[in-house]
Structure 1
Amino acid sequence: MSQLKTIQDEPLPRWLPRLAANKGPRFLQIADALQAAVADGSLAPGDRLPPQRQLAAQLDVDLTTITRGYDEARRRNLLEGRGARGTYVAAPKAELTAILDLSMNTPPPPHGVDFDDMLKQGLSQVLMRADSELLMTYHPGGGSDSDRKAGARWLAPMFGPLDAGQIVVCPGAQAAIAALILALTEPGDVILAEPSTYPGLLAAATRFGRHIIAVEADRHGMLPGMLEQACRRHKPGLVYLNPTLQNPTAITMPERRRKELAGVAQRCKVRIVEDDPYWLLADAPPPPIATFAPEQVIYISTLSKCLTPGLRVAFVLLREPIERERFLAALRSFALMLAPLTAALATQWILDGSAGRLMEGIRSEARLRHRMARDILAGRYSGAGDGLHVWLELPAYWNSAQLARAAASDGVAVTPAEAFATGSVSINAIRISLGSIKDRGRLQAGLQRLSHLLARRPESFGAVVV
């Protein structure tokens, strides 16, 4: 008896009835039978299916029919292939509703810019021009000469021509802030900041035993008179400012206020850390504070908010040589160096113009998203029309923590005012980040859910005890 006759005589699997000519395409009958067997438990996850050739012989159909049937079952997430071991019933996939994340300030994906191609081209250029061994070994902190020259070009829109030797290249703005705190202050020192400020500053200061004290601000930012009073009273080690599209309030400090604060720093001989990640995204921003008091102000610009967080590259303009050495020593204590490959990619993109093209795409996309937010949030929108976020003041019947919880239960993540507070919470608001959701349709859905929440009074939220 032939091998084929033996296979044909074997009983069909229990889950598979005889195929019928009047019940549609045979490959769909096979897929439907598989789906029904999985649904009623006749087939369980991990069960091995007959080899395709064997089943084709048993059903007296061509191999293509079986292959199409198995492929259709895979499309329905019923089967999984395990190479030479065969085809098996797949475990059911959990259907999880992805949260609409409006809590992370990241650049939106720019329309019309092929980021994947840009990444491949940039890395290709880096690998052609650099010794691969140099990209995989230790480097001195602060960046290479090429990295610092790229930093000078990146900062040129803010300052014009710069001495690249005054620039330190760091693995991100957060690392730069932490190193400045370590280098220029002592445990127990005071750092002055606005009432709502960047959470990364709060985290670093707390970890290093420094005290953040809030200085009163108005709709233009920190008040110069209040800063001068606080400097004379507290003798701060540093003043921290984020003057352009401030995180979280989205305020851009006008030029006059910047000059006044620079004057206070000069009179009180206090150093300002000007953390300015959004300057290049803003529409005609004023000159940085560092242009008015260059010896008193340390300037930070990161690529994370203008290009992509994955580069982890920031440029610090620190003009005083002794402070630059102290800063580098502090930085090396916890971040020995930049990752050479990503630093080289950032430098390549800046020098060949790719960074500028990417940033323009991000600026355009951010403006479109602000228009969307303005339309959906209607009278509650108070953004500047640019940057990555909106600071939304809430109606009196909501508080920020309560709204954040309600939004989370509705599948939307936002950041409440408490996350930014340097002392007691002084404003009832949430920050809405517009770049972290890739798809515009999903962003629109998240904003609409928020709008519906804001339009109604809160329900009570019972405590859960576990």
Structure 2
Amino acid sequence: MLSWTPRIEKDGGPKYLAIARALRADVQSGRLRSGERLPAQRLLAKVLGVDLTTITRAFNEARRMGLIEANTGRGSYVRGGASARDEAARSGSPIIDLSMNMPPQPPEAKLRERIQDGIAGLLNGPQGPMHLHYQESIGAGPDRAAGARWLAPRLGAVPVDRMVVAGGAQTALYAVVRVLAPEGGALCVPDLTYPGLRAIAEQLRVRLIPVAMDEEGLDPAALEELCARERPKAVYCVPTIHNPTTATMSTWRREAIAGVARRHAITIIEDDAYGALPRQAPAPIASLAPDVTWHIATLSKCATPALRTAYVVTPGLSDTLRLAAEIRAMTLMVPPLMAALASQWILDGTLDDVTAAVRAESAARQAIAGRMLKGLVFRSHPEGHHLWLTLPDRWHRADLNLYARQSGLALVPSEAFAVGPAPDAIRVSLGAAPSQAMLERGLGLLATVLSHGPSALSSIV
């Protein structure tokens, strides 16, 4: 029997890196102890059914990480315990990423094959050369039409002259804020809000006014009071599966927010990043109040961020032209080839298939979270891919972030979202882990850490 056999996650990446990551995990967890001798490389290769060169590369990577050391003629050994754990925590990215809020990429989505085949088909088609040219900043006509078709089930018929195609939701949001809130202007936002918007506001010197939230998201009464007192230019919200709290507004709540906006002559920025995920969700605000709403929808959260394609529905043609001018100055245009691929996926049904696979995987991961985090207080959406966890009384978010990183976990504490005082809470993202098994391991580790106070874990500092 081998003294150590790695538990390798099948994530599609190079096997030597998977073996090195498994070694790092076992050093951090204490499964491999200081001074322990590792199996001979040739024997390990035979047991794992891989080439000797794969094991050699894995051990070289582990040495680069500072986890092991080799003695000529004696083999490879785990480095000193504290030193090895510290190096493991510092080397590269954490073993299990619960911080990046991206959709899971299940094998059923066939993203690699579909992207490769789709791009090849576009380039070899009759319009192939056109996808390599400069295009209008507003988006090519066929791409705008495809975006309108994708949004029609949620928004109804969208005139193409109200549609802009952008290179991702962050680009779109930056341009919209530039149009609606010039430097020195004010923007109402949830008191826990998307960090990307906070970065935009800092860059553009836009003042963010925090609005109180409840279980459904923005509180209309609090928004009404602030609008009367502060006279903001616009209000920003994520009505469906809010980031980070997962709150979803009811239809009544959406109508109430639209009513406040109309009474105070302000504009709504509706970030509908997660709107395509639920099989059933209330109608977007843009369908209830199209005259005062700028609607941003992206493929990054329901399919893959690799497409870098988002769609903005403006209140009218003049707004479309203003937005196009901002995008022209910032990025010139959406990447034409990826926009064309997104259009093809919309028209041939591929996007619906990918979204269905992501939705099913997200639901499975939420079920895992419910099981692994049982007894803890958190909020989630059954078809979303993050959750909002309130920390036990004995934990402070800064302490947890430190211990989590030393344990090989990446989390996002509440101050990343807070516009004002931050609660003791964390966002846990379920999509970045390459497999359900890896997610289960990470959530189990998180639950174990939370079940003890910081003082009980002081030995790992």
Q: Does TM-score exceed 0.5, indicating one fold?
A: yes
The amino acid that maps onto 1:340 is P
> Are 1:213 and 1:423, in contact at CA under 8 Å, matched by a contact in 2?
no
Q: Secondary structure at the match of 1:256?
A: helix
Q: Find the counterpart in structure 1 of residue 256 from structure 2.
A: 260
Superposition pairs for residues 28-39 of structure 1, below 5 Å? none
Change (3 A) 1:78 1:125: closer
Q: Find the counterpart in structure 2 of residue 251 from structure 1.
A: 247
Q: How far, CA to CA, are the matches of 2:287 and 2:350 in structure 1?
A: 27
Q: 1:211 aligns with which of 172, 197, 207?
A: 207
Q: Secondary structure at the match of 1:316?
A: strand
Change (3 A) 1:450 1:260: same
Q: Find the counterpart in structure 2 of residue 16 from structure 1.
A: none
User: Is 1:354 equivalent to 2:333 in the alignment?
Assistant: no
Q: How far, CA to CA, are the matches of 2:52 and 2:263 in structure 1?
A: 75
> Are 1:190 and 1:238, in contact at CA under 8 Å, matched by a contact in 2?
yes
Change (3 A) 1:109 1:267: same
Superposition pairs for residues 232-381 of structure 1, below 5 Å? 232-380=228-376, 381=378
Q: Find the counterpart in structure 2 of residue 58 from structure 1.
A: none
TM-score (norm 1): 0.78
Residue 416 of structure 1 deviates from its aligned partner by 0.3
User: Is 1:384 equivalent to 2:381 in the alignment?
Assistant: yes
Residue 92 of structure 1 deviates from its aligned partner by 7.7
Q: 2:449 aligns with which of 448, 453, 466?
A: 453
Q: How far, CA to CA, are the matches of 1:341 and 1:127 in structure 2?
A: 9
> Are 2:245 and 2:379, in contact at CA under 8 Å, matched by a contact in 1?
no
Q: Find the counterpart in structure 2 of residue 151 from structure 1.
A: 147
Q: How far, CA to CA, are the matches of 2:363 and 2:175 in structure 1?
A: 33
> Are 2:211 and 2:219, in contact at CA under 8 Å, matched by a contact in 1?
yes
Q: Secondary structure at the match of 2:133?
A: coil
Q: Secondary structure at the match of 2:434?
A: coil
> Are 1:173 and 1:314, in contact at CA under 8 Å, matched by a contact in 2?
yes
Change (3 A) 1:417 1:75: closer
Q: How far, CA to CA, are the matches of 2:165 and 2:375 in structure 1?
A: 42
Q: Find the counterpart in structure 2 of residue 4 from structure 1.
A: none
User: Is 1:167 equivalent to 2:137 in the alignment?
Assistant: no
The amino acid that maps onto 2:303 is L
> Are 1:111 and 1:365, in contact at CA under 8 Å, matched by a contact in 2?
no
Residue 280 of structure 1 deviates from its aligned partner by 1.1
Q: How far, CA to CA, are the matches of 1:75 and 1:319 in structure 2?
A: 57
Residue 73 of structure 1 deviates from its aligned partner by 4.6
Q: How far, CA to CA, are the matches of 2:419 and 2:61 in structure 1?
A: 49
Q: Secondary structure at the match of 2:453?
A: coil
Q: RMSD value over aligned CA atoms?
A: 2.1
Q: Secondary structure at the match of 1:247?
A: coil
Q: Secondary structure at the match of 1:378?
A: coil
Q: How far, CA to CA, are the matches of 2:54 and 2:195 in structure 1?
A: 45
Q: Find the counterpart in structure 2 of residue 414 from structure 1.
A: 411
1:8-43 CA distance string (max 9 Å, x none)? xxxxxxxxxxxxxxxxxxxxxxxxxxxxxxxxxxxx
User: Is 1:110 equivalent to 2:89 in the alignment?
Assistant: no
Q: How far, CA to CA, are the matches of 2:185 and 2:62 in structure 1?
A: 56
Deviates more, 1:373-382 or 1:235-244: 373-382
Q: Secondary structure at the match of 1:104?
A: coil
Q: Secondary structure at the match of 1:390?
A: strand
The amino acid that maps onto 1:190 is A
Residue 259 of structure 1 deviates from its aligned partner by 0.6
Q: How far, CA to CA, are the matches of 2:212 and 2:311 in structure 1?
A: 29
> Are 1:401 and 1:418, in contact at CA under 8 Å, matched by a contact in 2?
no
The amino acid that maps onto 2:157 is P
Residue 241 of structure 1 deviates from its aligned partner by 0.3
Q: Find the counterpart in structure 2 of residue 77 from structure 1.
A: 56
Change (3 A) 1:402 1:157: farther
Q: Find the counterpart in structure 1 of residue 392 from structure 2.
A: 395
Change (3 A) 1:91 1:399: closer
Residue 94 of structure 1 deviates from its aligned partner by 3.1
The amino acid that maps onto 1:133 is P
Q: Secondary structure at the match of 1:332?
A: helix
> Are 2:109 and 2:358, in contact at CA under 8 Å, matched by a contact in 1?
no
Q: How far, CA to CA, are the matches of 2:400 and 2:241 in structure 1?
A: 23
> Are 1:179 and 1:331, in contact at CA under 8 Å, matched by a contact in 2?
yes
Q: How far, CA to CA, are the matches of 2:285 and 2:454 in structure 1?
A: 42
Q: How far, CA to CA, are the matches of 1:442 and 1:123 in structure 2?
A: 31
TM-score (norm 2): 0.79
Q: Secondary structure at the match of 1:277?
A: coil
Deviates more, 1:444-453 or 1:136-145: 136-145
In structure 2, stretches of 5+ residues that fail to align are 1-49, 68-87, 89-93
Residue 282 of structure 1 deviates from its aligned partner by 1.9
Q: Secondary structure at the match of 2:366?
A: helix
Q: Secondary structure at the match of 1:112?
A: helix
User: Is 1:94 equivalent to 2:73 in the alignment?
Assistant: no
User: Is 1:224 equivalent to 2:203 in the alignment?
Assistant: no
The amino acid that maps onto 2:370 is R
> Are 2:299 and 2:307, in contact at CA under 8 Å, matched by a contact in 1?
yes
Q: 2:434 aligns with which of 433, 438, 451?
A: 438
> Are 1:110 and 1:358, in contact at CA under 8 Å, matched by a contact in 2?
no
Q: How far, CA to CA, are the matches of 2:62 and 2:420 in structure 1?
A: 49
Q: Secondary structure at the match of 1:459?
A: helix
Total equivalences in the alignment: 382
> Are 2:148 and 2:159, in contact at CA under 8 Å, matched by a contact in 1?
yes
> Are 2:210 and 2:420, in contact at CA under 8 Å, matched by a contact in 1?
yes
Q: Find the counterpart in structure 2 of residue 35 from structure 1.
A: none
Identity of aligned residues (%): 38
The amino acid that maps onto 1:94 is R
Residue 120 of structure 1 deviates from its aligned partner by 2.3
Q: Secondary structure at the match of 2:381?
A: coil
1:319-373 CA distance string (max 9 Å, x none)? 3222221111112221111111111111111111111100000000000000000
> Are 1:77 and 1:92, in contact at CA under 8 Å, matched by a contact in 2?
no
> Which 4+ stretches in 1 moved above 4 angstroms?
90-93, 95-98
